[in-house]
Amino acid sequence: MNKKGKTMKKLISILLCVLLLAGMTAGIASAENAFCPNCGEEYPAGEGYAFCPNCGEPLAKEDEYDFMIPMVTKVTDEEEYDRVPEDGNFDLTDYVLNQLDNSVYRETYEALAGGEIVSMGGWGTTAKGLQQTLIDFGQKLSADGQAGGKTFEALHAVQDAFGVERTDKVDGEAYSQLLLRLLVLKEMDEDEYGVTEKLCDLPGEPIDYDECSYMMACADYLKGNYYKAQERFESCYWGDSEERAEKCMQPWPSTGQLWKDSSLGAGTQLTITVNGEPDVGMHVKIYTESGKLAAMLFIGGSGSASTWLPGGTYTIKDGTGRDWYGQEDSFGYYGNYEVMTFDDYGTTEVELKAGYSYTITINVQNASPDASNVGSMYDSYEDF
């Protein structure tokens, strides 16, 4: 909030105090019920609540002109500490570090801002802190304190994903750029709608909304959410966002098993055979009875893919399309998604017995008289 807004709040608070001292207390006590604009709960004005007992937000009263007058102004200690330092000098990196709340990040930044540099072959506590930061970006790396080739491969992967120029060394400025983008990544995991609130409404020089959207798109790309990344790149106007949007579509993977939960055993074989168009792929997801993803297959055009699973009850879903956006986003919003059914009643679960081999054929050309029919019903992109 800007200084003018804060001044207005103070003036309103002072004015209310003056009115109360002038004998207005009884008038407020006898007014209509106080109520919470946030959750809608009402409380008798005579009970003297200032904050809503239900949600903690400031209560308000309604006067005869039907407009809202806040009874109090609430400023949290966290908001005061994070947004407006006591000396009045806002520092973005310090704010980011406060939000991340991790001693490793702060100690690493302070060392680098103090003149230390991590370069190829470097070692020590600061190099280890950099490695841990890269691990928190999702990079496969060991935090052993030895900044070798794998460390800088991971660094360049993060820099490439976020559209940041590659560096062969890390100083305070380069590390602060990483921290800002790590905050975006972490906030998106918790509440992606809160990212712009935390970064685009800051004192001094707030981050541009398009730049923030760009960083969110980059975070999606880094996590393998290529369709979501494409949507964000297309909706923002920052840097090379248009070019990045075009690069979100991924090449088809090879026909076969994409992924399997390594904790599951192998007692029965399931094969999916597709007689399809050459430019249409199929993404198959197999879920356990508890709803846990067990395995994923991909068939490009016509072909077969198999996986081994423990005997049990499963739900099988398939998505088809031409534009592939990776295991997480499949064919995007415009793909076609279904859940397979295994009887005339639309049952979506099938039992696969241990020691047996099962084949499901899509677009059967020569049906076997001994085979059971498999149907399908619509499934949304969000639920696939």
Total domains in the fold of the chain: 3
For residues 60 and 12, state if they share a domain: yes
275 found inside a domain: yes
Q: Is residue 236 part of a domain?
A: no
Statement to judge: residues 102 and 185 lie in one domain: yes
Q: Report pTM.
A: 0.72
The 10 Å Cβ neighbour count of residue 243 is: 10
Coil vs helix vs strand at 181: helix
Report strand pairing: 268-274 vs 357-362.
parallel
Question: Do 260 and 370 lie in a common domain?
Answer: yes
Q: Is residue 327 part of a domain?
A: yes
Q: Does 141 share its domain with 102?
A: yes
CATH code (residue 94): 1.10.101.10
- Identity (one letter) of the amino acid at 59? L
Helix ranges (DSSP H) in the chain: 3-19, 25-29, 77-83, 92-100, 103-113, 125-136, 149-161, 172-191, 195-199, 209-222, 226-235, 241-246, 326-329
| Domain identity same for 180 and 65 | no
Among 70, 95, 124, give the residue marking a domain's end: 70
* Residues 65 and 90 both lie in one domain: no
d(CA 220, CA 37): 35
User: Are 146 and 170 in the same domain?
Assistant: yes
Please check whether residues 260 and 371 belong to one and the same domain.
yes
Whether 187 is covered by a domain: the verdict is: yes
How many C-beta atoms lie closer than 10 Å to residue 111's C-beta? 20
One domain for residues 45 and 139: no
Full pLDDT tens readout for the chain, 384 residues: 444 444 434 433 433 343 333 443 333 333 456 667 666 677 665 555 556 666 556 666 544 333 333 333 333 444 444 445 555 578 899 999 999 999 999 999 999 999 999 999 999 999 999 999 999 999 999 999 999 999 999 999 999 999 999 999 999 999 999 999 999 999 998 888 878 888 888 877 788 999 999 999 999 999 999 999 999 999 999 999 999 999 999 999 999 999 999 999 999 999 999 999 999 999 999 999 999 999 999 999 999 999 999 999 999 999 999 999 999 999 999 999 999 999 999 999 999 999 999 999 988 555 556 667 889 999 999 999
**CATH number of the domain that residue 292 is part of:** 2.60.40.1120
175, 207, 239 - which closes a domain: 207
Query: Do 299 and 324 belong to one domain?
Result: yes
What's the domain range around 299? Answer: 256-378
In a domain, 235, yes or no: no
